[in-house]
């Protein structure tokens, strides 16, 4: 299932909705929205992931990209990731870079 990325911004917070599969082919679209958020100078980024069905290594790398693009003082939350995705994020140690929150 191809990835759909939508982004909305309220004040200094941006919310990115991901639907489908985040892999090497679709990661650039995700990166584009992160760059937009970074350019807008947001203080908080929420990645709504409950409709994300699969995250490949390129998708995991996108979280690192988000952290490094936005800087350490921006809170990044991954909201509602399904269990396999959340587990992989934790095992790779990326839960130190982003905050995982259940839906």
Of the candidates 90, 85, 26, 32, the one whose C-alpha atom is nearest the C-alpha of residue 58 is: 26
Dist CA 97 CA 103 (whole Å): 19
- Nearer to another protein by C-beta: 9 or 77? 77
- Nearer to another protein by C-beta: 43 or 87? 87
- Nearer to another protein by C-beta: 43 or 90? 90
CB neighbour list of residue 16: distance below 8 Å, 6 or more residues apart: 5, 6, 7, 30, 33, 34, 37, 45, 46, 47, 48
**Least spacing, CB of residue 87 vs another protein, in Å:** 7
Q: Between β-strands 75-79 and 99-101, what pairing exists: parallel, antiparallel or unpaired? A: parallel
Which chain residues interact with another protein by CB under 8 A? 24, 56-58, 60-61, 64-65, 67-68, 72, 87-88, 90-94, 96-97
**Least spacing, CB of residue 58 vs another protein, in Å:** 6
**Least spacing, CB of residue 10 vs another protein, in Å:** 26
């Amino acid at each position: 299932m191809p990835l759909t990325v939508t982004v909305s911004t309220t004040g200094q917070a941006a919310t990115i909705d991901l639907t489908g599969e985040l892999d090497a082919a679709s990661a650039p679209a995700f990166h584009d929205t992160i760059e937009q958020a970074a350019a807008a100078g947001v203080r908080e980024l929420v990645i709504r992931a409950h409709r994300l069905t699969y995250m490949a290594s390129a998708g995991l790398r996108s979280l690192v990209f988000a952290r490094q693009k936005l800087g350490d003082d921006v809170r990044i939350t991954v909201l509602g990731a399904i269990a396999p995705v959340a587990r992989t994020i934790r095992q790779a140690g990326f839960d130190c870079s982003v905050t995982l929150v259940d839906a």
